[in-house]
Structure 1
């Protein structure tokens, strides 16, 4: 029986690159996206593996529920939560419908799909969940002069980092691995669909992001940053977070006491 992977946002960019790499490696696939013609075109081009296109909109409860049912009922060996939207704008300017879409696609969908898939993976004693976030997850401390500001988008990606780290610890020793991939700017249609022209900016290829993600899984990384050469930088960030977490006390900090 071949391994089975489900990839969301598989119609282009990183998701399509994941699907192509996994198919080439012998995985059967469930590919999820909103554009039926692209899903069917990809499926028709694959030989030697089974590819099932699933048209679903993960910005809606109906779409999330439909894909979650597949995650819960199919013997997945890998779940790739890649689907995304950007909506780069200050929070006060972000329309309510776009805010809901962003939270549904980048927070609710990966959370519920992962929840649905993990139980079966645990029963089988193997599997992997790969969440696609971005280096913007680490941009919160940047000063106001750094543009563009995108509070909800950065927060959604930071959720994927924290969830992946915590879930990875929960699942330690079970045979189920968790990874969050945090690329920088990638050469895909992602920004063009938001009306942002980054053609003059050096960008990583989607294939390189997938190479890093799969190699990172082999290395046991929970946070994979494909464009960060010095991995000790990430260790420093996480050590500082744990130091702050451990440094709390039930006593009020002196800086908050009246002088």
Structure 2
């Protein structure tokens, strides 16, 4: 029996992942802050073994608990899905909210993946899925609200994309793969927690997001974007990244060198 660990499993995409993986026969470790919801989820999945772990991944202690499980249990699949948003102007974002956002979306996925990967390499198989979002590609967007009120959040998602791409290359040949899931707006309570009503906007279901994720893994995609119908768009983005990286020079670029000094 294979074993999957899913963070942020009490609702939304994480819950949909847990349900789909259980239906496929995976035993589960489900992680979240709301014990009652996790226990209800476990009770609804009687065909598999489900371990409930209450942990707050915004804290060092919470990450340490889950990392210990990831390091010692024979995980086949790790889904780093836990999330928090805190959309607001950068200059008004409280330090504690910025710290929470960075801890949940960058520190926790990094340390949990770091804990799981050695065992996966030793076993010769494993899959890491970090959940980001299409906002990772929105950096060049105009600064008008709400795009201009989520700089830290967008930065964490972009970090997640780059880390998955780099980690995937590093793990080549080990039997372990890394992926990043980038949905658009999803019909979950994620935005409601932020006081945002997006019910009037077209939204993908959490179940469809998971369908896309599992299909993308099977297709060997590193960046899985369930709502992008033309995959060539992503290919061009990444080709442009590599073109810029590959065409750097030790010589100062003319547009900087030829400007008047003063």
Whether these two folds match at TM > 0.5 is yes
Contact residue 186 and residue 205 of structure 2 kept, 8 A: yes
Partner SS for 1:249: coil
Contact residue 185 and residue 204 of structure 2 kept, 8 A: yes
Q: CA deviation at 1:148?
A: 3.3
Structure 1 Cα separation of the partners of residues 131 and 140 of structure 2: 21
State the TM-score, normalizing by the size of structure 1: 0.98
Structure 2 Cα separation of the partners of residues 41 and 253 of structure 1: 59
Question: 1:207: which partner in 2?
Answer: 207
Q: Does 1:65 find its partner at 2:42?
A: no
User: How many residue pairs were aligned?
Assistant: 258
Compute the RMSD of aligned alpha carbons.
0.8
Partner SS for 2:53: strand
Partner SS for 1:241: helix
Question: 1:56: which partner in 2?
Answer: 55
Partner SS for 2:242: helix
Partner SS for 1:250: coil
Q: CA deviation at 1:67?
A: 0.3
Structure 1 Cα separation of the partners of residues 196 and 93 of structure 2: 16
Task: Give the gaps of 5 or more residues in structure 1.
Answer: none
Question: 1:243: which partner in 2?
Answer: 243
Partner SS for 1:180: strand
Q: CA deviation at 1:147?
A: 2.9
Q: CA deviation at 1:28?
A: 0.3
Contact residue 88 and residue 148 of structure 1 kept, 8 A: no
State the TM-score, normalizing by the size of structure 2: 0.97
Contact residue 141 and residue 147 of structure 2 kept, 8 A: no
Structure 2 Cα separation of the partners of residues 137 and 112 of structure 1: 20
Question: 1:134: which partner in 2?
Answer: 133
1:77-156 → structure 2 map (5 Å cutoff):
77-145=76-144, 147-149=146-148, 150-156=150-156
Residue deviations 1:75-131 (CA, integer Å, cap 9, x gap): 000000000001011211111111011000000000000000000000000010001
Write out the 4+ residue segments of structure 1 that deviate beyond 6 Å after TM superposition. none
Question: 2:228: which partner in 1?
Answer: 228
Question: 1:158: which partner in 2?
Answer: 158
